[in-house]
Amino acid sequence: MPSTGAAASHQRLLQRLGAITLEVAFVLALFWGHEILRGLAAGTPAAATANARTVIALERAIGLYWEPQVQAWVLAHPALIGALNWIYSYVHLPGTLLFGLGVLLRRPHRFPEVRNVYIALLAVAIPVYRLFPLAPPRFFPHLGFVDTVKLFSAIDYDDQPESLLYNPFAAMPSMHVAFALFVALGVIRLSRSRLRWLALGYWLLVVLVVVATGNHYIVDAVAGSLLTVGAYALVPRVAALLPRPSLPRWRRVDADAGFAD
């Protein structure tokens, strides 16, 4: 009967909306849980400063100490500074969430894989913050570094020392870069479009952003990138060894369904 079919469709729609809401809430809870744990994992200023000297010495030894030149170039272009500051402050979380929501809506059968990679990134970063606290470049104005976000906008990330989320020494790895590559590789893996490789431009832009704003060293960006590549390489293989739960009806879609086609 038509009414029975309509009722079934309505029920499936409600189930899908409910499942999407739960997934989004879970991902947000993971993110804010990570932020709290990151704050609790803050190291001492002495250790963070010593590690920063080590990183700078390493970069100089291998020819990667380009941060001062990058900042000097950016500071010569005031309009560019504003754009990079805005991207650093406001694109990181929304960009990652929009990608996840796109996967959930367009490729729901692949969402568990993407979500598990996301969880792995968050989980690995926490002990690194604790074991290797690292003062970012903006802490060393005597070396010529500038905190562009603080200097050219109304945002001061260091004006919250009592906050549970505050950890000024969580520079290694750069999670801005890790999640930018997480999005880029996810688009490349899930899309069939010939333009999908352009997603790597987002990752490269974020690398520029974190270095130009004085928030990360190039080594931090390399570490964040390697973390993401490793997570995409290992997490699906580990998950394949585990028993798979049955999927709800709305996730049983054609594996060739479009994503950013």
Share of residues in the chain with pLDDT > 70 (%): 84
The answer to whether residue 84 is domain-embedded is yes
pLDDT at residue 258 greater than cutoff 60 = no
The answer to whether residue 159 is domain-embedded is yes
Domain that holds residue 221: 18-243
Tens digit of pLDDT for each residue in 88-129?
989 988 999 999 999 988 888 899 999 999 999 999 999 999
Tens digit of pLDDT for each residue in 182-238?
999 999 999 988 899 999 999 999 999 999 999 999 999 999 999 999 999 999 998
The answer to whether residue 68 is domain-embedded is yes
The answer to whether residue 255 is domain-embedded is no
Backbone angles phi, psi at 54, to 5 degrees: -65, -45
The answer to whether residue 253 is domain-embedded is no
**Which of 19-33, 89-103, 160-174, 195-209 tops mean pLDDT?**
195-209
Total number of domains constituting the chain: 1
The answer to whether residue 237 is domain-embedded is yes
Residue 69 has what pLDDT? 95
Q: Which residue has the higher pLDDT, 219 or 247?
A: 219
Residues 6 or more apart whose CB falls under 8 angstroms from that of 150 comprise: 138, 156, 157, 158
The answer to whether residue 11 is domain-embedded is no
Residue 170, helix vs strand vs coil: strand
The answer to whether residue 8 is domain-embedded is no
Q: Mind giving me the DSSP string for 30-99? A: HHHHHHHHHHHT---HHHHHHHHHHHHHHHHHHT---HHHHHHHHHT-HHHHHHHHHHHHHTHHHHHHHH
Confidence label for 260 from pLDDT (cuts 50, 70 and 90): very low
Residue 18 has what pLDDT? 76
